């Protein structure tokens, strides 16, 4: 599979509006996921070569004549004296360890440094996100099961 074929697959993904596309030809496999600011394409090479990972930046889409990718979430408005707790990774936000379990942290609850606030699932790994400061949770800015971007504010905390 050559770069032109990969570009055509990306264009097909953009034109169709689908979120994910996977194509396999022989030993070559390409998986393209539509999302935030970039698209990642994984193309395994022959057994002796290293796999190639390409990230298509927004400029690629603009030169291809397609609309630019979705923009990153806008930063949450900051209230005076509140400290943001941001996502350290891209993934899916979960407020509790399982659907029938209570939330790790509720609005109005006092938290301590090191306390688990949520889970961000990334690549099938569950990453517990801990509080770096103590204080009171004033606002949770993400809904359970929603995607989060790197650096996106998830909680606002009033430090003690």
pLDDT, one tens digit per residue, over 101-153 is 999 999 999 999 999 999 999 988 999 999 999 999 999 999 999 999 999 99
- pTM for the complete prediction? 0.52
- Say yes or no to pLDDT of 9 above 50: yes
Question: Strands (DSSP E) along the chain, which ranges?
Answer: 20-25, 28-33, 39-43, 52-56, 83-86, 91-94, 110-111, 116-122, 125-130, 135-140, 147-148, 153-159
Instruction: Report the SS3 class of residue 27.
Output: coil
Please work out, in degrees rounded to the nearest 5, the angle formed at the alpha carbon of residue 46 by the alpha carbons of 44 and 50.
Answer: 60
Question: pLDDT for 26-75, tens place per residue?
Answer: 777 888 777 654 444 555 554 444 445 454 444 444 444 444 444 445 45
Q: What's the pLDDT at 38?
A: 45
pLDDT band of residue 14 (cuts 50, 70, 90) is: confident
CA dihedral 102, 106, 112, 113 (to 10 degrees): 90
What is the token pair recorded at 88? 């350290």
For the chain, domains (ranges, CATH) are 3-63 (no CATH), 83-159 (2.40.50.100)
């Amino acid at each position: 599979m050559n770069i032109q074929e990969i570009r055509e697959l990306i264009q097909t993904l953009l034109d169709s509006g689908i979120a994910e596309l996977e194509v396999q030809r022989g030993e070559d496999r390409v998986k393209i996921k539509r999302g935030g600011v970039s698209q990642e394409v994984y193309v395994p090479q022959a057994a002796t070569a290293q796999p190639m990972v390409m990230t298509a930046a927004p400029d690629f889409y603009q030169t291809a004549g397609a609309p630019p990718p979705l923009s990153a979430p806008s930063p949450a408005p900051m209230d005076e004296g509140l400290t943001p707790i941001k996502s350290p990774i891209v993934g899916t936000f979960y407020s509790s360890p399982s659907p029938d379990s209570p939330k790790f942290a509720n609005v109005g609850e006092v938290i301590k440094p090191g306390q688990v606030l949520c889970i961000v699932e990334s690549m099938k790994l569950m990453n517990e996100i801990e509080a770096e400061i103590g204080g009171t949770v004033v606002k949770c800015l993400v809904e359970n099961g929603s995607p989060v971007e790197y650096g996106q504010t998830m909680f606002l905390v009033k430090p003690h």
